Amino acid sequence: MQLSGKTILVTGGTDGIGRELIRQLKAKGANIITSGRNPERVAATQAEGFEVIAADLSTPAGIDALIAGVAGRALDILVNNAGAGSDHDFREGPPDLADNDACLYLNVNAPVHLITRLMPVLRARPEAMIVNVTSGLAIAPRAGGPIYCATKAALRSYTQALRVQLEGTNIHVLEALPPVVETKMTAGRGNRKMSAPDCAAAFVRAMEANAEEANVGMVKLLKLVHSLSPALARKIMIRF
């Protein structure tokens, strides 16, 4: 897809992969609308010249705020990038169920709601795209992050089914599967991390190529191992 001139809504674009993604998409000539929930990061992103809608997508009110913010606008691409992790490890103590619920809503409900409510807008464009950001952990989980892994596996399944539903329409569906990337969310998680700019660049290339999947960095190897032996992939990743 030619990205120049396209209007793109990127959720969670004020930090991490999302921040690098909106910068690179803007450099391609796209018109960017993004969202964020941290007031300081929202202000910083606005200071860079981006249109930012303040919305906490872990709540129904946040979904409503974002939909209201783009009402009446023509959107060519929806990138469901916003996401968060949530501790749920009984080896370390009782999980915080409220935090788990917020993670489940942000990572699964929010993309489903946004796709559903923005589908008429996307259908009205000559060509459109939905990009759902999942994770290599959607392929095989790690023991320390079962809630996050479950949400990304759920979004992966949803994306695969959605792609079949939209076959033959003007809407292309892309799943982006990043590896462990250097962001605030992965602080303390080892040293072999991909940079956010490099990860975002891989997403952009996949969008331009109309790819169905963007298996980024080490996820390519994980996909290969999983194709040969799902059990081996699970064994490797469960203690990652």
Sheet holding 7-10, edge to edge: 51-54, 31-36, 7-10, 77-80, 128-133, 171-177, 213-215
Give the pLDDT of the chain (240 residues) as one tens digit per residue.
999 999 999 999 999 999 999 999 999 999 999 999 999 999 999 999 999 999 999 999 999 999 999 999 999 999 999 999 999 999 999 999 999 999 999 999 999 999 999 999 999 999 999 999 999 999 999 999 999 999 999 999 999 999 999 999 999 999 999 999 886 655 455 567 799 999 999 999 999 999 999 999 999 999 999 999 999 999 989 887
pTM: 0.93
What is the C-alpha separation between 189 and 202, in angstroms, rounded?
A: 22
141 Rama class: left (phi>0) / alpha (psi -120 to 50) / beta: beta
* Domains defined for the chain, CATH in brackets: 7-237 (3.40.50.720)
127: exposed, middle or buried (Cβ count in 10 Å: 0-12, 13-18, 19+)? middle
| Catalytic site positions | 148
